[in-house]
Amino acid sequence: MYSDKVMDHFMNPRNVGEIKDADGVGQVGNPVCGDVMYIYIKVEQETITDIKFKTFGCGAAIATSSMLTEIALGKTIDEAMDITNEMIAEALDGLPPVKMHCSNLAADGLHAAVEDYKAKKEGRPSPTPGMSASCPGSCDSCDMKEEH
């Protein structure tokens, strides 16, 4: 069901934790399946110099968060915004279709952390954390409701 890379990142997640003085924090979640991700970034000269995550969810959610940290570290803020959930899943050699919907929130969390960083830098209020755009938030409108 899961690739060797998914299992490796689930069993040996990279960059787990919290950055206390983070320059940006992203929180995303999926109310349908209960996955919640916190992504913390440290930025120097518009480059992500440190990234950590805390994820509450299934093995796929932990694996995508872990892979995200490896992909995003060293990227500029603009490059980080180009990272997609599909890129993360591809780097993990794929995810089962049912897990693409709920568990691959990692890029959304990174984008939220970058938006938080930008807001702080510009002196404006940080965006409100919320549910991921990749989840409709209601099983009634979800074509995968039978699989939750």
Q: Write out the catalytic residue numbers.
A: 33, 102
∠ at Cα 120 (119, 125), nearest 5°?
60
Give 77-83's long-range contacts (Cβ < 8 A, gap of 24+). 77/43, 77/46, 77/47, 77/48, 77/114, 77/117, 77/118, 78/46, 80/41, 80/48, 80/110, 80/111, 80/114, 81/111, 81/114, 83/107, 83/110
